[in-house]
Structure 1
Amino acid sequence: MREINLSNGKTIEVECLSCALTSGLIEPDGGVIIETEHFHAHQDVAYPIRGLIILASKRHIKCFDELTDEEKLDYIKVLTKLRQAQREVLGIEYVYYFYNEDTTHHFHTWMVPRYEWMYDFGRSVESVRPVLLYARNEMNNHENVNEVIKAINSLNKELNNWGGDYEK
């Protein structure tokens, strides 16, 4: 079991956070943004930053090259729609994407928005960790969390009106 600190201050113990999230055992604050047959998108549970999305595979795999052809197509389609919704619904101009294979979770991609306040920490990939820690430690207040939840609801509404094979 692994101990995970959530942005809401709670600590949970799980073997795999992604399994717990994609199976519904743990409900991320604000709920699921969009779910497909192969992927589950939700607000990052550890950092209260408006529009910080995790796109996780439902299947327990670690690497991009383990995706089936069908999963690869689904991944690109949903990642593209998420990014489009970040821009159109939340006004997010820039995003950093991260994916790592030495994780204890499933294959997942972080979509980290870049806001003006974040540039106080720098303009490169090295600024992301301090930004995340700042958000967890300094932005975990009622006002910000409400803004994060509103963003989740807006994204969910936009993406679930999208249609096609990507409705919940």
Structure 2
Amino acid sequence: MKKITLSNGETVEVKCLSCALTNGLVKPEGGVVIETEHFHAHQDVAYPIRGLIILASKRHIKCLDDLTQSERLDYIDVLARIRKAQRTALGIEHVYYFYNEDTTHHFHTWMVPRYEWMYNFGRSVESVRPVLLHARNEMNTKENVEEVKEAIDILTKELNK
């Protein structure tokens, strides 16, 4: 078991945070954006960037090629649905997608929107880590977190029509 401090300061003890989130044992701040048979999506409020979504598999796997055919179809469908909602409901024009296989969690994809202010950190993939750290350290204001939660509500409504 690992002790993990969530973005709201609450501490949880879990084997795997992603498993705990996708199984409903730990509630993501702001709630679930969309849930399908194989996937669960939520905003990572530890990085308060409007529209930043994490899409995680419910099954504990590490690699894209571990997905079953049914999971692969569900994955691309829900990923595309989230992206469309980011564009149409939140006006997000560009997104960086990340997934890595050396994580301590299981298979998940980060959908990181690109906003104009982020270009101060560069225009390449190398700028994303400084952007995330800036958001965590400098944007955790009450006003910004409320904007992020409002975006969560907008996406949730759009994706669950």
Q: Alpha carbons of 1:6 and 1:143: their partners in 2 closer, same or farther (altered >3 Å)? A: same
Contact 1:6/1:45 (<8 A) preserved:
no
Contact 1:7/1:48 (<8 A) preserved:
no
SS at match of 1:40: strand
* 1:126 maps to amino acid: E
TM-score (norm. length: structure 1): 0.92
Q: Does 1:19 align with 2:19?
A: yes
Q: Does 1:92 align with 2:92?
A: yes
Q: For 2:115 and 2:35, how far apart are their aligned partners in 1? A: 26
SS at match of 1:8: coil
Q: Does 1:47 align with 2:64?
A: no
Q: For 1:18 and 1:45, how far apart are their aligned partners in 2? A: 14
Query: Percent sequence identity over matched residues?
Result: 78
Cα deviation, residue 46, structure 1: 2.2
Q: State the partner residue of 1:150.
A: 150
Q: For 2:60 and 2:120, how far apart are their aligned partners in 1? A: 37
CA deviations over 1:42-82 (Å, ceiling 9, x no partner): 00142111100000000000000000000000000000000
Q: For 2:56 and 2:6, how far apart are their aligned partners in 1? A: 17
The residue correspondences of 1:84-163 to structure 2 (distance < 5 A) are 84-161=84-161
* 1:21 maps to amino acid: L
Structure 2 spans left out of the alignment, 5+ residues: none
Aligned residues: 161
Q: State the partner residue of 1:165.
A: none
Q: Does 1:71 align with 2:71?
A: yes
SS at match of 1:111: strand
Q: State the partner residue of 1:166.
A: none
Contact 1:55/1:108 (<8 A) preserved:
yes
SS at match of 2:148: helix
* 1:148 maps to amino acid: V
Q: For 2:75 and 2:142, how far apart are their aligned partners in 1? A: 33
Structure 1 spans left out of the alignment, 5+ residues: 162-168
Contact 1:96/1:113 (<8 A) preserved:
yes
